[in-house]
Structure 1
Amino acid sequence: MMECCNQKRFDRMKPFLAVVFLQFGYAGMDVLSKAALNKGMSNYVLVVYRHIAAFVVIAPFALILEKKVRPKMTFSIFMKLVALSTLEPVIDQNLYFLGMKYTTATFAVAMYNVLPAITFVMAYIFKLEKIKMKSVHSQAKVVGTLATVAGAMVMTLFRGPILNIFGTHGNSAQIQHNSGANLQHAIKGSIMITVGCFSCACFMILQTITLETYPAELSLTAWICLLGTIEGGIVALIMERGDYSVWSLNWDTKLLAAVYSGIVCSGLAYYIQGVVMRYRGPVYVTTFNPLCMVIVAITSSIFLAEKIYLGRVVGAVVIIIGLYLVVWGKSKDYDTPSSIIKDEALPVMESRESNDKDENPNPNDKVITKSNFVAIIRDEQV
């Protein structure tokens, strides 16, 4: 009995552990990618190599493990795959890395905290999220969404003094030299990152919809990486035309950033978030982004000597408050789906019972009964 309870508790913790693992992975990617971009690596080339590495690693597992469960490819599914590979590998990642070039890794991750709010709005538009304005929980969702946007604006427009939190002050000459262009760069970078957030939110929604007709997470990941490599390669050849030296790699940070971000943040991330979204929805996956911001702020300040400004800290705090208002309001919705499932499933179970009685009059042969199903539902609610 104890082992059964522990197993159930672990099963319920799996989505939480999975998304926390993703945030640690994203934090490592941000620091490594910023270091590679600082050394002159093209963000377009980084995106291509990243998805090559992801496809090479994921494709064999998809071919072997999902050979019997992979649905038949149709034109509709293929077009969704093309759209997915355009939204995330091409648009989102290129704009994200460009925004990071203009700003810092900490700033890019902090700006990305508007992603949960954007995803929430997109989910509401596509009827994956419900809002009742008379409900306190729905009001918390709306207020939290507005707070995340306000926090992002504060981070963009207000700098303030430098905070010497980790002893990485930087010299005064460098601060004076950068002060003139930092505001313009921050505005450009924030616009690019915000557009990338919209693209990523659309990717999350579309991935959730696609998994309903193509429930093979590994194969879906392999297709996204393959098509993303092709589309990203075309974009890179156009943007870096005539300069073939940008494609060269050595045993340095550039290669490490491409391989790490490809395997962890494309291959594993697309697969894990696909699995979690099938059971918890896209909003749940994106609500853990602030954890990545905290990790990157600490690691980039220590290893990249990036400066932390008061405005970014204040904006980040506002974003986190708004974000967790959204999370609080969202958490109260978990009771509603279970009641809906209970109401819809019980008639199905009753019909199955009647069929079982007709086919097999022995009641001991029934596998699932109405009372058992109700017990299961109550257990899940607990």
Structure 2
Amino acid sequence: MAMEKFKPLLLMILVQICYTFLYFITEASFSHGMNPHVYVTYRNIVGGLVMLPFAYFLERKKRPKLTMALLLEFFVLSLMGVSLTLNMYFVSLTFTSPTFIASMLNTIAALTFVLAVILRLEIVNVEDPRGIAKIIGTLVSLAGVMIMTLYKGAILKNLWHPIIYIHQGNNVVKEDWVKGSILTVASCITWAIWYIMQAYTLKRYPAQLSLTTWMSFVGAAQSAFYTVIVQHKRAAWTIGFNIDFWSTIYGGIVISGLVGYIQLWCTEQKGPVFVTMFNPLSTILVALLAYFVFGEKLYMGSIIGAIVVIVGLYLLLWGKEDPKSERKDEEKCCTTKKELYHEDNMMQKFTSDANPKDTKKPKQ
């Protein structure tokens, strides 16, 4: 019972760890010369191919019949969460930094929360302490993100040389923070809408593996169509057995495949707000990894903001916990124990009746 209760929590922590490595692997690949649009296309092709056999065999009986309405829904979902959003997101990464991107992505949780409340996917009772905790937790997490983004403070000195120089590459892109910031904000908005749409689609198409596969293939086709228009050089589509190859494999198998499926499962179980409110964890992990491993600067504002984010996340988690379900689980557990105890007593009585010779004779 305890494992089932904490399963969504543990899975979302795993998702954020996977995202943490994604930031640095893709930044290294783009610095090496990988085209972001080509990367999105290849990554989703890999993700779709990996998930296809699992979706076909494991959800044969569970998968609903396809309709034109569902196909249109898949098209919009793929556009909002895969092709359009990822293209904006990864292009913005070439103009900014992993720490900045990870910080800005935390606004998705607040945007998703507001949309979920408006659309009645999330119930907030302002007269209930847990309802108030949801609102305060969201605001506190957003405040922590703003602190990490806007306030720097003192720089913490590195006591050793960086282990990996992630920024080295053949083609270093010149930073353009204005363009990068606009693209990042736009991707956050479309991502929040995407999470909300998933909750509605899963009600009509409750097959997470199949939905992940559909979004990967359709998103890859959309991205390929756009990339062919903006990228006419054939050499951009050629990748060698280097960081470009490994970033595509990691992004396809781990992010588009495994992480995409986990997020859909958690969205169906706990709702879109639960999924997005774990984004601050990747911000903290990215900042720590960038400091200890890659030698990037770590500011006091990042540490303060991280602490505030964790407090907000805890409040939001506590607010979303349903005390009624906890009592039901406890009552169910107690009932199960009583049933087992009763069955054990009945078995012992039956055994003693069936074997009267085993009973000790009284001493004469």
| Pairwise TM-score range, normalised by the shorter structure | 0.7 to 0.9
Cα distance in 2 for partners of 1:56, 1:87 equals 21
CA shift digits 1:275-318 (9 cap, x unpaired): 22222112222222222223222323344332223344444444
Q: Which residue of 2 aligns with 1:157?
A: 150
Answer yes or no: is the 8 Å Cα contact 1:116–1:323 preserved in 2: no
**TM-score, with normalisation over the residues of structure 1?**
0.77
The percent of aligned pairs where both chains have the same amino acid is 35
Runs (5+) with no aligned partner, structure 1: 1-7, 175-180, 343-372
- 1:212 equivalenced with 2:203 (yes/no): yes
CA shift digits 1:139-178 (9 cap, x unpaired): 3322333334444444443334432256468xxxx9xxxx
- What letter corresponds to residue 273 of structure 2 in structure 1? V
- Picking from 257, 275, 282, the partner of 2:247 is 257
- Picking from 174, 180, 184, the partner of 1:193 is 184
Evaluate the alpha carbon distance shift between residue 191 and residue 11 of structure 1 in structure 2; reply closer, same or farther with a 3 A threshold.
same
Q: Report how many aligned residue pairs link the two structures.
A: 327
* Cα deviation, residue 106, structure 1: 2.0
- Picking from 84, 109, 118, the partner of 2:111 is 118
Answer yes or no: is the 8 Å Cα contact 2:284–2:306 preserved in 1: no
Matching of residues 51-62 of structure 1 within 5 Å? 51-62=44-55
* Cα deviation, residue 327, structure 1: 2.6
**TM-score, with normalisation over the residues of structure 2?**
0.80
Q: Which residue of 1 aligns with 2:277?
A: 287
Q: Which residue of 2 aligns with 1:239?
A: 230
Q: Which residue of 2 aligns with 1:9?
A: 2
- What letter corresponds to residue 271 of structure 2 in structure 1? G
Evaluate the alpha carbon distance shift between residue 84 and residue 377 of structure 1 in structure 2; reply closer, same or farther with a 3 A threshold.
farther
Q: Which residue of 1 aligns with 2:314?
A: 324
- 1:335 equivalenced with 2:328 (yes/no): no
* Cα deviation, residue 195, structure 1: 2.3
- What letter corresponds to residue 237 of structure 1 in structure 2? V
CA radius of gyration, larger in: 2
Structure with the larger helix share: 1
- What letter corresponds to residue 306 of structure 1 in structure 2? E
Runs (5+) with no aligned partner, structure 2: 168-173, 337-364
- Picking from 89, 92, 95, the partner of 2:85 is 92
Cα distance in 2 for partners of 1:132, 1:27 equals 34
Q: Which residue of 2 aligns with 1:132?
A: 125
CA shift digits 1:101-153 (9 cap, x unpaired): 22211221122122222221121121111123333333332233333444444
Cα distance in 2 for partners of 1:300, 1:374 equals 43
* Cα deviation, residue 19, structure 1: 1.5
- Picking from 256, 261, 268, the partner of 2:258 is 268
- Picking from 21, 28, 42, the partner of 2:21 is 28
RMSD in angstroms over aligned alpha carbons?
2.9
Cα distance in 1 for partners of 2:296, 2:330 equals 55
Answer yes or no: is the 8 Å Cα contact 2:43–2:252 preserved in 1: yes
